Amino acid sequence: MIAQIGFSILLSGVMVYAWTEYRRAPVIAVLSMLVATAGLYFVWLPTHATKLAALVGIGRGVDLIIYVWVVISLILLLNLHLKLRSQAELITILMREIALANARTAEQNK
C-alpha cells in the first residue's frame, strides 16, 4: 500500500508537469499523460499488470511498472532536450540582433 501511494504521488506529479508543459510541447505532454495514466492504472490494479506483463513477455507486473517509469523518464529527458533547444533559439535571436546592430556595410569598410 505504501509503495502504491508513493508511486501514485510520483505519477500524479508527472501528470501535473505534463499539463503545465502542454502549451509548449503538446506531443510530449500527451505522451507523458498517457504513460502516467497507464502507470497509475497498473499500480492500483497489479493483477492486470501481471496479466499484461505475461502477455507481452515481461514476466512480472511490477517489472512492467518499472518499465513504464523508465519510459516516463525518457520522455522527460526528451522534454529537457526540447527546452534546451528553445533556449538555443532565444540565444540565436539575441545573437542575431547584436550582429545586425554591429553590421558593417561595404561603404563603412572603406
> Can you give the binding site for another protein, defined by CB under 8 A?
23-25, 27-28, 78, 81-82, 85-86, 88-89, 92, 95-96, 98-100, 102-106, 109
Nearest-approach distance from CB 95 to another protein, in angstroms? 5
Cell of 105: 556595410
Can you say whether residue 59 is alpha, beta or left, with left for phi > 0 and alpha for psi between -120 and 50 degrees?
left
- String of b and e for 48-72 (b: at least 16 CB within 10 Å)? ebbebbeeeebeebbebbeebbebb
Nearest-approach distance from CB 92 to another protein, in angstroms? 5
Nearer to another protein, 1 or 106 (CB): 106
Nearest-approach distance from CB 6 to another protein, in angstroms? 30
Nearest-approach distance from CB 14 to another protein, in angstroms? 17
CA 5 to each of CA 1, 10, 14, 83: distance values in angstroms, whole numbers, following the listed order = 6, 9, 14, 30
- Under a CB-based contact definition with an 8 Å cutoff, are residues 65 and 47 in contact? no
Nearer to another protein, 19 or 44 (CB): 19
Nearer to another protein, 47 or 102 (CB): 102
